[in-house]
């Protein structure tokens, strides 16, 4: 076991990440103290910084690699509880609709795809596993923003629209409608000719902490015509089923 005296500066961050990567499951603070040899105050500082940048995620006092880690190694299933709890539902939704389905999270003002079930039909879109796009437009971004805690949403919108108050006000009105409806829809906002619907996933029955992710169905706009309500209903049902599964763990 490494001791605090043997590492300095950024090495402490890497020590924490290495411990989380090699442990094989989420770690408590006690677990991390034992694995790293860091003083508790030092460990808390490193974890807080890693959480802020999205390299570490926390759930009920247990810590695991966070969404940004996915961008360091495409194909490695980070945040495995969320991915594993979502995959079956995503596959069923994709089979039923014959469309592509993604599991999407928000980190550092970006929308990141954790998992993607591809349609058998061709679809040109920005989302693929590990890919990130700005958190401001499209069904995925709007679903995640709409179901953020109010303070976090206000801070995010301030960064994204610091110089465009009119656009921010219009989006805030739209987000209120999405929150009331329960899902977001967009057409050609991120990729031309791509229609999307996105519904939130919650790990906790109480929604005060905000959504942990969104399930997004993507289809060519031409193929979505006349199916919008049905596709939205199936997507919301899938997101709700995944939420129930996570909350039962």
- Give the CATH number for residue 104: 3.30.450.40
Is 94 inside any structural domain? Answer: yes
CA–CA dist 198, 187 (Å, integer): 12
pLDDT value for 26: 87
More confident residue, 97 or 60: 97
Number of domains in the chain: 2
Is 122 exposed, middle or buried, given 0-12, 13-18 or 19+ CB atoms closer than 10 A? exposed
Interval 157-208: pLDDT, tens:
998 888 899 999 999 999 999 999 999 999 999 889 999 999 999 988 888 7
CA–CA dist 128, 50 (Å, integer): 24
- Residues contacting residue 125 through CB under 8 Å, at least 6 positions apart: 100, 190, 191, 194, 218
Structure tokens at 185: 């829809």
* Residue at which a domain ends, from 41, 65, 89: 65
| Mean confidence (pLDDT) of the chain | 86
CATH number at residue 28: 1.10.10.10
Q: Which residue has the tokens 């976090």?
A: 152
Range of the domain at 142: 80-248
């Amino acid at each position: 076991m490494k001791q605090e005296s043997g590492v300095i500066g950024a090495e402490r961050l890497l020590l924490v990440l290495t411990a989380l990567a090699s442990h094989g499951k989420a770690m408590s603070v006690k677990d991390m103290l034992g694995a790293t040899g860091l003083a508790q105050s030092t460990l808390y500082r490193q974890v807080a910084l890693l959480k802020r940048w999205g390299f570490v995620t926390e759930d009920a006092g247990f810590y695991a690699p966070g969404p940004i880690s996915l961008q360091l190694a495409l194909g490695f299933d980070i945040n495995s509880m969320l991915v594993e709890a979502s995959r079956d539902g995503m596959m069923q939704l994709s089979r039923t609709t014959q469309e592509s389905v993604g599991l999407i999270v928000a980190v550092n003002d970006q929308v990141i795809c954790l998992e993607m079930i591809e349609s058998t039909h061709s679809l040109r879109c920005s989302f693929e596993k590990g890919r990130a796009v700005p958190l401001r437009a499209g069904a995925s971004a709007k679903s995640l923003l709409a179901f953020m805690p109010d303070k976090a949403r206000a801070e995010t919108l301030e960064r994204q629209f610091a110089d465009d108050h009119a656009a921010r006000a219009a989006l805030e009105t739209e987000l209120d409608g999405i929150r009331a409806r329960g899902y977001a829809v967009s057409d050609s906002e991120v990729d031309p000719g791509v229609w999307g619907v996105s519904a939130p996933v919650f790990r906790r029955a109480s929604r005060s902490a905000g959504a942990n992710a969104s399930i997004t169905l993507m289809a060519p706009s031409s193929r979505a015509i006349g199916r919008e309500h049905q596709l939205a209903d199936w997507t919301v049902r899938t997101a709700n089923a995944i939420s129930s599964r996570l909350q039962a763990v």
